[in-house]
Amino acid sequence: MLAYIIRRVAQSLLVLLVTGFVAFSMFSFVGDPIDNMLGQERTQADIDRLRGQLGLDQPFVVQYYRFLEQAVQGNFGLSYRQGRPVSDILMERLPATLELAFVSGFLALAGGIGLGIFTAIRKRGVSANAIMTVSLIGVSLPTFLIGIVLIYVFSVEMGLLPSFGRGEVVRIGGWTTGFLTESGLKALILPAITLGLYQMTLIMRLVRTEMLEVLRMDYIRFARARGIRERSVNFRHALKNTLVPVITITGLQLGSIIAFAIITETVFQWPGVGLLFINAIQFVDIPVMAAYLMMISVMFVGINLIVDLLYFAIDPRLRVDRTAAGGH
């Protein structure tokens, strides 16, 4: 087990090194930082001096190492567009994104698992079939269209909820939260649904498929043949087995909520890191892009690691098998 965890951690580090390399390459190959930092009136001496300062005259590997060193300390330089340290901008924007992702993730998980179980158990029921049909439309509906539809219905037509922004926020230390004000909570509703709905559909369909698969297994038949109550068969015997494969994909889904927040934040002009990233792409603001990439990979890798560890908590077979089984 320990060996397995060590291998997983090593893999995570590899992912971080590779994304770090991509981020670093963006600095090196996409636009010349010297161009970006020095004005029109520059002399060759200025350029050489800056080159020396930035370490651009060093060998590639040394530069990469320096970059990683800086990145680990959260230092990505100045935003080309705003002229402020990227890390400051990110920290300012991060609470908005995390609060949004947290609420939608909760919606997606609770709704997805609940509806998935329901549609699997009542697989011939009318309501279960209706839910499945609607979910197919949900999968085809791009996130931004969901947002637009919600804005149209609840903001434009009904005037119930705000269509953009975060509402009033309360500052607590370095964190800003919209959870504590009425306008903040109201502003959260539409974006959270927009972001959560698609993931919820996916999780629901996945849970349903896995659960139906499990319900066909011999041990479920055997449990029924022993007269175990239907409730216990479904929730004790079947659900636990369903969760093992569901956890991986669900974990990844939760990660992608942070990425899909980019779309939701743009639709609702939500002042989070996603909107920042989109603006950075539009203006080719490399430091912001690179920092966002690094930040999001750390999050993803973290989520993946947690998912792996959760496996051990749920599936006793892994506690012995995995380490011995090795590669595959």
Partner 1 sequence: MSTPVLSLRDLVVEIPTRTGVLRPVNGVSFDIAAGEILGVVGESGAGKSMTGNAVIGLLDRPARIVSGEVRLLDQPIQSLRGEALRRLRGKRMGMIFQDPLTSLNPLLTIGDQLTETIREHLDVGQSEARERAIAALDEVGIPAARQRIGSYPHEFSGGMRQRVVIALALCAEPELVIADEPTTALDVSVQAQIIALLKRLCRDRGVAVMLVTHDMGVIAEAADRIAVMYAGGVVELGPVREVITRPFHPYTGGLMASTPGASKGMRRLRQIPGSMPRLDALPDGCPFHPRCERAEAACRENPGPSLAACDGRAACWFPLTEPKEAVS
Partner 2 sequence: MAQNEIPRAPSRFARARNSDLYYSFTRTPVAIVSAAVVIVLVLAALLAPLIAPHNPFDPGTLNLMNGFTPPGEANAFTGDYFLLGTDDQGRDVFSTMLYGMRISLFVGFSAVMLAMVVGVVLGLLAGYLGGWVESTIMRIADIQLTFPAILVAMLIFGIAKGITPPAYRDQMAIWVLILAIGLSDWVQFARVVRGATLVEKNREYVQAARLVGRAKFSIMIRHILPNVLNPVLVIATISLALAIIAEATLSFLGVGAPPTRPSLGTLIRIGQEFMFSGEWWILLFPAGTLLALALSINLLGDWLRDALNPKLR
Least gap, CB of 244 to partner 1 (angstroms): 8
Least gap, CB of 267 to partner 2 (angstroms): 8
141 binds partner 1 (CB under 8 A): no
User: Comparing C-alpha atoms, which of 221, 210, 275 is closest to residue 245?
Assistant: 210
Q: How many Å apart are CA 61 and CA 73, to the nearest integer? A: 19
Which of partner 2, partner 1, none sits in contact with 14, Cβ below 5 to 8 A by type?
A: partner 2
309 binds partner 1 (CB under 8 A): no
Q: Which residues contact 267 (CB under 8 A, 6 or more apart)?
A: 143, 144, 147, 148, 151, 191, 194
Least gap, CB of 136 to partner 2 (angstroms): 7
182 binds partner 1 (CB under 8 A): no
User: Comparing C-alpha atoms, which of 203, 213, 208 is closest to residue 257?
Assistant: 203
CB 247 within 8 A of CB 311: yes
Taking CB under 8 A as the criterion, the residue among 281, 306, 313, 320 binding partner 2 is 281
User: Comparing C-alpha atoms, which of 112, 86, 89 is closest to residue 257?
Assistant: 112
142 binds partner 2 (CB under 8 A): yes
Which of partner 1, partner 2, none sits in contact with 230, Cβ below 5 to 8 A by type?
A: partner 1
229 binds partner 1 (CB under 8 A): yes
67 binds partner 2 (CB under 8 A): no
The pair of structure tokens assigned to 40 is 């029109």
230 binds partner 1 (CB under 8 A): yes
# residues contacting partner 2 (CB under 8 A): 47
Which of partner 1, partner 2, none sits in contact with 130, Cβ below 5 to 8 A by type?
A: none
286 binds partner 2 (CB under 8 A): yes
Q: How many alpha carbons lie under 13 Å from residue 234 in its C-beta half-sphere?
A: 14
236 binds partner 1 (CB under 8 A): yes
CB 9 within 8 A of CB 305: yes
300 alpha-carbon distance from chain centroid: 7
Strands 175-177 and 170-172: antiparallel
Phi/psi for 74 (5° steps) reads 75, 20
62 binds partner 2 (CB under 8 A): no
98 binds partner 1 (CB under 8 A): no
Q: Which is nearer to partner 1, 7 or 123 (CB)?
A: 123
217 binds partner 1 (CB under 8 A): yes
Q: How many Å apart are CA 150 and CA 156, to the nearest integer? A: 9
DSSP state of 172: E
Give, in degrees to the nearest 5, the angle at Cα 158 between 156 and 161: 75
Which of partner 2, partner 1, none sits in contact with 26, Cβ below 5 to 8 A by type?
A: partner 2
Segment 295-324, which members bind partner 2 (CB under 8 A)? Answer: 296-297, 300-301, 304
Give the x-and-dash track for 240-279 against partner 1 (CB under 8 A): xx--x-----------------------------------
Q: How many Å apart are CA 280 and CA 286, to the nearest integer? A: 7
Give, in degrees to the nearest 5, the angle at Cα 195 between 312 and 265: 120
**Site of interaction with partner 1 (CB under 8 A):** 217-219, 221-230, 232, 236-237, 240-241, 244, 314-317, 320-321
**Site of interaction with partner 2 (CB under 8 A):** 11, 14-15, 18-19, 22, 26, 29-31, 136-137, 139-145, 148, 151-152, 156, 163, 252, 255-256, 259-260, 262-263, 266-267, 277-278, 280-282, 284, 286, 289, 293, 296-297, 300-301, 304
